[in-house]
Amino acid sequence: MHSRDDILRASAAWVWFPRGSEQHKSELQLVRHPARFGGGVKASQVDSPHDASAVLDEAIERTRAWGETELTFWTNASDRPDLEDELRRRGAKHFDTVAVLARPTAGIPVEVPSGVTAEIVRTIDQFREVDAINVAVWEHQSPLDEAELAEEVAENAAALASDEGGRALARIDGAAVSTGGCTVADGFVRFWGAATLPEARGRGAYRAVLAERLRLGASMGAQTALVKGRRATSAPILARAGFTHYGDERGYTLRV
């Protein structure tokens, strides 16, 4: 198990670059998301000698240069300077808070009810089931076409072969209802993209996906599982599954 400082550093370093995205890295990390994920620009990892106003001005300028109208910023305890007060001063809306949680990959079992199963995603048919869940759960996400599904299968196969991560799919009575991915880096396995169909929630499918990703991460050499869980939904489940709370990250949106 990694130390608290290691966990917080790993959380701060965690950035998602979707396929088809663009990025700009200077005094903060900016990622322009493709239209399939709703577009907009995501900002994180502030490390600047300048004041909060100057850093935010740069982010807004780049967002406008990309032709986008929404800037989303996630705070982190390691930000320098802290942008929260400046974001609020400019009218940014706080839309969510996630808890940074971690636990060892092994040694603490996750209880999964009978009738709920989980599997590692490998085939294009499984990816169709994953995509159907994601489109139903995530706002603004459009379905993958056949070429994109093939790309997902190829990327996933490469990640599994190189011990870099994979995806899990849970079923209740054979029906695909929950999914989530994981990425292995620097001894951590990062859990991301968990989604469960509304009608299946509270029945153990998320726990099945969690247990399968813990197993996969441990088999790929990760000692510590790291996840950012929504305070209102997954964080309580994760706490019951042996995860410890190490801090919070807050999300803000700013129209530019």
- Token code pair at residue 36: 């399939």
- In CATH terms, are 4-99+251-255 and 106-222 the same topology? yes
Sheet strands side by side (includes 224-230): 22-25, 29-32, 41-44, 70-74, 244-255, 93-104, 224-230, 188-196, 175-185, 165-172, 116-120
pTM of the model: 0.90
* 25-34, 100-109, 120-129, 225-234, range with the lowest pLDDT: 225-234
Mean pLDDT throughout 223-236? Answer: 91
79/119 Cα distance (integer angstroms): 38
Average pLDDT of the residues of the chain: 95
Q: Which CATH superfamily is domain 106-222 in?
A: Gcn5-related N-acetyltransferase (GNAT) (3.40.630.30)
- pLDDT at residue 131, rounded to an integer: 97
184/179 Cα distance (integer angstroms): 17
Confidence of residue 232 (pLDDT cuts 50, 70, 90): confident
What residues contact residue 103 under an 8 Å CB cut-off, 6+ apart? 1, 224, 225, 241, 242, 243, 244
CATH architecture of 4-99+251-255: 3-Layer(aba) Sandwich (3.40)
